[in-house]
């Protein structure tokens, strides 16, 4: 099915943010998302597999194929990098978290900023016309999220990391180039290491690091979700409009 996600300015309410924090990342529904243009009939408007990222009808579209998937990953990494940048720069960071937590969150800040800048560099080098085809720097909004709340920060980190794992796991099959597939593989396992560590910080004496809420109890498989399932989740935090018309 053709999927178009239009992400509008996020105006999160307190209640939706709290709901988010109660839910495990992949089931949350956030305010501010408008789904539009979904077509049930692929024959009328077949997916174009060679659509490059860029402005279409006034809104940036992620495109299709490998560039589309990489641009999608770049959007998600922008979100993660922005979140942890805000976490480590929060006014009470040093008082809010213990030494191990600070080490973990600082490492995650480093890793995600590196991932973001890597995708920017890789796409800038590979896109035929990066001036028009490189996804711009997105703007983010976290609503009422209190960056000086240990509980809220860790819960959001857990949601973001689990979502990142599911996103890469789901997008792998969309990648045509073995080189790009390997690069995604190099990143997703680090996201999974992050998710495990955050879950362990939240509930240390437990099996939550790879909990039954995220790893299927009948086959031992982690979550995997296509872009059309991931973007509505991420959209809760992304205030810049873009579309993903050509990604499943």
Partner 1 sequence: MNILKFIETFTDDNLMRSTGSRRDSFNQFGNIGKNLAMASIPFGLAAFSNKAMAADIQPTPATPIGALQFALTLEYLENEFYAMALDSGVIPASENGGRDLKVFQQISAHESDHVTFLINGLGGTMSANFVPKPTFDFTVGGAFDPFGDYPTFLALAQAFEDTGVRAYKGQAANLISTPDLLTAALQIHSVEARHASEVRRLRGLKGWISNDERGAGMPSATQAVYDGEGVTVQAGFNTAALFGASAGSEAYDEPLTTKQVVDIANIFIV
| Residue 118 near residue 110, CB atoms below 8 Å | no
Closest contact distance (angstroms) between CB of 97 and partner 1 is: 16
- Rounded least distance, CB 171 to partner 1, Å: 9
* CB-nearer residue toward partner 1: 138 or 174: 174
Report, in Å, the least distance between residue 123 CB and partner 1.
Answer: 10
Nearer to partner 1, 19 or 200 (CB): 200
CA distance 233 to 27: 8
Q: How far, rounded to the nearest angstrom, does the alpha carbon of residue 239 sit from its chain's CA centroid?
A: 13
C-alpha closest to that of 198 among 105, 118, 121: 105
Closest C-alpha to 20, from 12, 28, 31 = 28
Residue placing its CB nearer to partner 1 in the complex, 61 or 112:
112
Of 38 and 182, nearer to partner 1 (C-beta) is 182
Q: Which of 178, 177, 173, 164 minimizes the C-alpha distance to 223?
A: 164
Q: What minimum distance in Å lies between the beta carbon of 195 and partner 1? A: 6
**Length of the chain, please?**
248
Alpha-carbon span 56 to 122, nearest angstrom:
22
Evaluate whether 75 touches 138 at the Cβ level (below 8 Å): yes
User: Which residue's CB is nearer to partner 1, number 108 or number 238?
Assistant: 108
Q: Which two tokens stand for residue 123?
A: 């796409």
Supply the minimum distance, in Å, between the C-beta of residue 28 and partner 1. 20
Residues at the site binding partner 1, with contacts judged by CB under 8 A:
103-104, 107, 110-111, 113-115, 117-118, 121-122, 125, 165, 168-170, 172-173, 175-176, 178-179, 181-183, 185-197, 200, 204-207, 209-211, 215-224
């Amino acid at each position: 099915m053709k999927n178009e996600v239009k992400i509008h300015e996020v105006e999160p309410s307190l209640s939706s943010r709290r709901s988010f924090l109660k839910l495990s990342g992949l089931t949350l529904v956030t305010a501010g998302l408008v789904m539009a243009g979904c077509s049930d009939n692929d024959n009328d408007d077949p997916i174009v597999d060679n659509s490059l990222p860029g402005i279409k009808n006034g809104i940036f579209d992620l495109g299709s194929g490998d560039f589309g998937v990489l641009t999608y990953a770049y959007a998600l990494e922008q979100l993660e990098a922005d979140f942890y940048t805000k976490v480590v720069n929060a006014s009470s960071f040093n008082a809010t978290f213990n030494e191990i937590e600070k080490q973990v969150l600082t490492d995650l800040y480093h890793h995600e900023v590196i991932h973001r800048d890597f995708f920017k560099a890789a796409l800038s080098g590979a896109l035929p016309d990066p001036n028009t085809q490189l996804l711009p720097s997105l703007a983010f909004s976290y609503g009422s999220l209190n960056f000086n709340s240990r509980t809220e920060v860790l819960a959001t980190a857990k949601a973001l990391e689990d979502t990142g794992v599911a996103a890469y796991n789901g997008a792998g099959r969309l990648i045509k180039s073995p080189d790009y597939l390997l690069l995604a593989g190099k990143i997703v396992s680090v996201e999974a290491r992050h998710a495990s560590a955050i879950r362990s910080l939240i509930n240390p004496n437990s099996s939550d690091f790879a909990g039954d809420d995220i790893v299927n109890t009948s086959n031992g498989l982690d979550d995997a979700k296509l872009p059309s399932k991931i973007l509505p989740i991420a959209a809760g935090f992304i205030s810049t409009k873009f579309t993903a018309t050509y990604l499943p």
